[in-house]
Amino acid sequence: MGFAFRKKKDMPSGLWTKCRACGKMVYQKQVQEKLSVCPECGFHGKISSAKRIEITLDPKSFEAFGEEYLPRDILDFTDREPYAEKLNSTQGKTGLTEAAVVGTGTLKGMRVVIGILDFSFFGGSMGQVVGERITEAVERATGEGIPLIVFSASGGARMQEGALSLMQMAKTSAAIGRLRDVASAPYISVLTNPTTGGVTASFAALGDIIVAEPKALIGFAGPRVIQTTLRTDLPKGFQTSEFLLEHGFIDRIISRDVMRDELARILEYCLA
Amino acid sequence: MSESGLPEGLSFERPIFEMVRKIEELKNLSVATGMDLNGEVRPLEEQCEKMTRKIFAGLSPWERVQVARHPDRPLTGDFISRIFEDFVELHGDRTYGDDRAVITGFGKINGRRILLVGHRKGRDTKSKLSCNFGCAHPEGYRKALHKMKLAERFGLPIVSLVNTPGAYPGIGAEERGQAWAIAENILEMSRLKVPIVVLVIGEGGSGGALGIGVGDRVMIMEHAYYSVISPEGCAAILWKNGEKAENAAQALRLTADDLHRLNIVDAIVSEPLGGAHRDHAAAAALVSEAISSALDELSGIDTELLLEARYERIRHLGQFFLGAE
Ligand SMILES: [Zn+2]
């Protein structure tokens, strides 16, 4: 599940990088300046949750909550390595405690609750802690009557927490049901590359307004699963943001450089 | 089917079926010759029962998945014809089509009027193909929601029978918003103003199961399973080897007992000895009783309290990060 930019070994180290979408070699510094957007094809690569906060919220306005919920290996799950060990090493590598970062902040002066799935932590997958943090974000927005913005990037439910992960789909969705019942402020769901599986089929698909970054892979079943099941090639552009816009499932496609401005424009219409 | 008319069975069932055949032979011999063989038959029957009990108590998670997928296991249609009188099937999602992988309709259980939704897998090749082996498309989930909203209007409790390997992974399903359909169903089921009883009767395959699986009481049959991903799919991804499904089934904690321990299901519905496929009538009686008593418990509860309790139930699913490290 990767559309990151890949370093190529035979090129001068760190200078050039290969875009996974168009395959072209691009100047790495330029990619960084363009917020991981390919200067050749416009593909939006992964960015960290910290970077996302930086380019979305007003400086120093972000305050995290839910950090007290920490993942644990409840099922004693071991595949090729124990889940507990993988959690530890991932926390060390990423500096994150879990795949969801949630908190409050201001966007052009408007107070919002923000949630971000960080793909670098277990592919942004939803286990119990991601479910809990997102649910708290929804409840916080509902309680305070302020907008909720969630940026998704996820492979789906986290397998290592079994059916407990699956149940987070119910938990987050039920909380959004209450938000729809009582809150006057909107929930904007932002789909980024890639968003699939149980995350798409719960809170990511439930936005009052749903937007996506260009050319993102978005769907329920992963393309490889569909290909294996149907034993056929998939149509060009299948399961992209553009495909979803065409089929009526998202409101707008917004590129990263103007995301903050566009979110503010939408919010202005939804707030009293 | 074997020559004796008994199913070949799963590998761990073979010793049971061998003994059943021997008992049958003795009984036939007794009838043919007029000899009284009760003295021989009874101990064998007792031994057979003991062996079945022992084998089924010791089933591995992967073997339970095989029981849940057993070709002779009772399906939604079998439960409808045995439990729900006067079933009036209702078709169509009013938007795109009528997905045969989901069946919906009015029915009565022990005289009580309900709305039934359930996955339909099909028994023979033709019916299996027509309902995509129980893998629903978005229109299936939308049909279920449309009928559940009718139930809400007319004050009918909802009974949902879950039995799916998973939602259909296909081009049309994605084009028509599979994820959107499932998500809206989950959200709406969390706040429909009538009691909802869910029973996993065979396979509880991931989001495709949850799409009709949210309720006030969520129960599972003894040999059914409920999982975030199929053991095969999990093995392919985490073990990079689809043949490690047995390991994945173990690791995923997908059995009825595991799910009950994790507070994901509220109750386990017992099956006849040797599995529901050995005795559909007995299985249906047990299911009927479990659903009826759940409906009894939920009937008459003030709607606001019902919804509050349902939200609390869902809200606390998976709280195992709390407490001591
Ligand atoms: Zn490119």
Give the gap in angstroms from C-alpha A194 to the nearest C-alpha of chain B: 14
Segment B31-56, tens digit of pLDDT = 999 888 888 899 999 999 999 999 99
| Together in a domain, B156 and B195 | yes
Give the gap in angstroms from C-alpha B229 to the nearest C-alpha of chain A: 7
| pLDDT range class, residue B1, cuts 50, 70, 90 | very low
Contacts of B318 in chain A (CB under 8 A): 127-128, 131-132, 161, 164-165, 167-168, 171
- What tokens does B239 get? 């073990």
Amino acid (1-letter code) at residue A272: A
Does residue B6 form part of some domain? Answer: no
Does residue B114 form part of some domain? Answer: yes
Segment B211-258, tens digit of pLDDT = 999 999 999 999 999 999 999 999 999 999 988 999 999 999 999 999
Does residue B322 form part of some domain? Answer: no
Q: Is the pLDDT of residue A30 over 70?
A: yes
For residue A223, give the nearest of A214, A210, A215, A232 by alpha carbon.
A232
Q: Is the dihedral of CA A254, A255, A258, A259 positive or negative?
A: positive
Q: How far is it, in rounded angstroms, from Cα B202 to Cα B227?
A: 11
Give the gap in angstroms from C-alpha A208 to the nearest C-alpha of chain B: 12
Does residue B5 form part of some domain? Answer: no
| Together in a domain, B108 and B244 | yes
| pLDDT range class, residue A13, cuts 50, 70, 90 | low
| Together in a domain, B277 and B182 | yes
Segment A78-132, tens digit of pLDDT = 998 999 999 999 999 999 999 999 999 999 999 999 999 999 999 999 999 999 9
Segment A37-66, tens digit of pLDDT = 999 999 999 999 999 999 999 999 999 999
**Does the beta carbon of B172 lie under 8 angstroms from any beta carbon of chain A?**
no
Q: Do B318 and A239 touch (CB under 8 A)?
A: no
3-class SS letters over B185-223: HHHHHCCCCCCEEEEEEEEEEHHHHHCCCCCCEEEEECC
Asked if this assembly's ipTM is beyond 0.85, the reply is yes
Longest dimension (CA), chain A: 57
Does residue B324 form part of some domain? Answer: no
Q: How far is CA B166 from CA A225, B207, B220, B244, in A?
A: 12, 7, 16, 19
Assigned CATH for A46-270? 3.90.226.10
Give the count of beta carbons closer than 10 Å to the beta carbon of residue B29. 14
Report the domain count for chain B.
2
Q: What does the pLDDT read at residue A231?
A: 87
In chain A, where the domains are located: 1-45, 46-270
| Together in a domain, B20 and B71 | no
Q: Is the pLDDT of residue B107 over 80?
A: yes
pLDDT averaged over every residue in chain A: 93
Give the count of beta carbons closer than 10 Å to the beta carbon of residue B125. 8
Q: Which domain holds residue B242?
A: 65-315
Contacts of A203 in chain B (CB under 8 A): 183
Segment B298-324, tens digit of pLDDT = 999 999 999 999 999 999 998 887 754
| Predicted TM-score (pTM) of this structure | 0.95
Give the count of beta carbons closer than 10 Å to the beta carbon of residue A245. 17
Q: How far is it, in rounded angstroms, from Cα B295 to Cα B298?
A: 5
The DSSP bridge pattern shows strands A16-18 and A6-7 to be: antiparallel
User: What value does the mean pLDDT take over residues B103-107?
Assistant: 98
| pLDDT range class, residue A17, cuts 50, 70, 90 | confident
| Together in a domain, B76 and B178 | yes
Report yes or no: B202 and B224 within 8 Å, Cβ to Cβ.
yes
| Together in a domain, B214 and B309 | yes
Does residue B119 form part of some domain? Answer: yes
Q: What does the pLDDT read at residue B4?
A: 43
Does residue B255 form part of some domain? Answer: yes
Q: For residue B187, give the CATH number of its domain.
A: 3.90.226.10
Report yes or no: B148 and B198 within 8 Å, Cβ to Cβ.
no
**Does the beta carbon of A56 lie under 8 angstroms from any beta carbon of chain B?**
no
Q: How far is it, in rounded angstroms, from Cα A133 to Cα A115?
A: 8
Q: SS3 for B282?
A: helix
Q: What does the pLDDT read at residue A31?
A: 86
Contacts of A239 in chain B (CB under 8 A): 174
Q: Is the pLDDT of residue A12 over 60?
A: no
Query: Pick from B239, B317, B318: which is nearest to A80 by CB?
Result: B239
For residue A131, give the nearest of A204, A61, A190, A79 by alpha carbon.
A204
Query: Pick from B171, B207, B238: which is nearest to A235 by CB?
Result: B171
Q: Which residue has the tokens 């923000």?
A: A114
User: What value does the mean pLDDT take over residues B2-28?
Assistant: 80
Please return the burial class of A204, using the count of CB atoms within 10 Å of its CB with bins 0-12, 13-18 and 19+: buried
Query: Pick from A75, A230, A238: which is nearest to B251 by CB?
Result: A75
Query: Pick from B248, B259, B320: which is nearest to A163 by CB?
Result: B259
